[in-house]
Copies of this chain bind each other. A is one copy, B any other.
Amino acid sequence: MSKIIPNISVDCVIFGFDSNQLNVLLVERKLLDEQTSETLIDDWTLAGYHIFEEEDFDTAAARILKRLSGLDHIYLEQFYAFGGVNRLNKPKDQLWLKHQHEGFSDRIVTVGYYSLIDNTSVTLSLKERNVKWFPVSELPELGFDHEEILQKALEKLRTKLRNEPIGFELLPEKFTISQLQRLYESILGQSLDRRNFRKKVMQMKYLIPLNEKQKDVKHKPAQLFLFSKDVYERTKKERFDFTM
């Protein structure tokens, strides 16, 4: 393993959807006093780490995701870089950095990625660290400037979601129209008419109906669909529409 770059890191805002609400994966940051066992720090942060000397940003972000999930090929998008002079200057953050003994600089710049995964099927974990999903509407106290990073990620995700079909990354491979609608509603924070939503998405050629239905539901089982990235790429058009 090669040397880390002391002043550059990558942080990942990992979004998941549990067929009801949008969640973010956070890592617990806990520090006890070595003598008194008093809790000095107990809050949460994004998953992130410094980049290594022979690594570019995408690789570093993929490495972080791989360590959490074991998976490659997760959807990842660089969304913003954060370089505020005082971004790690709160006393708690300084204390934490001091205890890391890894030769970090005290002026660290970070590149933000957001990641979309279907959190009904994958379990994420990190050795020696506690890891947990939080609904974006009920966040705990966040360390460093991670609250700001998370809000920026959300904003960029919303913009992207309005313009490109990336929502599918948050769903299981096979999903129903209602699941898709709940996803859009919960990310965009508005409710949508069921019939009109259906009509709209059914026109999309990249939404492939399957000869298969939901099982084990206590109501009329819904038809399942696939998202075909392939068809999307081949049929997408550019839009011109500066919004009023």
Residues of A within 8 A of B (CB): 5, 7-8, 51, 53-57, 78, 80-81, 83-85, 107, 109, 111, 159, 161-165, 167, 184, 188, 190, 192, 203-206, 235-244
Contact = CB atoms under 8 A, between A and B. Distances in A.
Q: How many copies does the complex hold?
A: 2
B239 A241 contact: yes
A107 B53 contact: yes
A197 to B, nearest CB: 10
A54 B235 CA distance: 48
A188 B8 CA distance: 35
20 contacts: A5-B7, A7-B7, A8-B83, A8-B109, A55-B85, A56-B83, A56-B84, A78-B81, A109-B109, A162-B238, A162-B240, A163-B243, A164-B242, A190-B238, A190-B240, A204-B244, A205-B244, A235-B244, A236-B244, A241-B241
Given A7-B8, A159-B163, A239-B162, A244 B203 contact: yes
A240 B190 CA distance: 10
Nearest to A158: B238
**Which of A84, A237, A244 has the most chain B CB atoms inside 10 A of its CB?**
A244
Contacts of A78: 80-81
**Which of A111, A239, A243 has the most chain B CB atoms inside 10 A of its CB?**
A243
Nearest to A110: B81
Contacts of A204: 244
A240 B5 CA distance: 41
CB-CB nearest 6 A-B residue pairs = A81-B81, A57-B83, A56-B84, A81-B111, A239-B243, A165-B242
Nearest to A240: B162
Given A163-B159, A163-B163, A244-B204, A56 B80 contact: no
